[in-house]
Amino acid sequence: MFKLHYKLERRAIGLTLAIIAAASIGGIVEIAPLFTIDQTVEAAPDMRVYTPLELAGRNIYMREGCYACHSQMIRTLRDEVDRYGPYSLAVESKYDHPMLWGSKRTGPDIARLGGKYSDEWHVRHLINPRDVVPVSIMPAYGWLMDNALRTDDLSGQLAAQRAVGVPYTDDMIANAGADVYGQANPDSAAAAGVTSRYGEATTVRLFDGDPQRVTEMDALVAYLQILGKLTDAASQDTAAVETQ
Structural domains for the chain? 2-40 (no CATH), 52-63+110-231 (1.10.760.10)
Whether residue 240 has pLDDT greater than 70: no
Q: What is the pTM of this model?
A: 0.84
pLDDT digits (tens, 9 = 90+) for 15-31: 788 889 989 998 888 88
pLDDT(87) > 80: yes
Which whole number is the average pLDDT over 59-87? 95
For residues 104-128, average pLDDT: 96
Q: What is the rounded distance in angstroms from the CA atom of residue 226 to the CA atom of residue 224?
A: 6
Quote the pLDDT of residue 44.
84
Q: Is the pLDDT of residue 221 over 90?
A: yes
Among candidates 133, 91, 142, which has minimal Cα distance to 108?
Answer: 133
Mean pLDDT of 189-210: 94
CA nearest 146: which of 224, 221, 216, 207? 216
Please report the pLDDT score of residue 29 as a whole number. Answer: 84
The per-residue pLDDT for range 156-179, each reduced to its tens digit, is 999 999 999 999 999 999 999 999
Q: What percent of the chain has pLDDT over 70?
A: 93
> Confidence class of residue 1 from pLDDT cuts 50, 70 and 90?
low
Mean pLDDT of the region 191-206 = 94
Q: Among 180, 186, 179, which residue's Cα sits nearest to residue 209?
A: 186
Q: What is the mean pLDDT of the chain?
A: 90
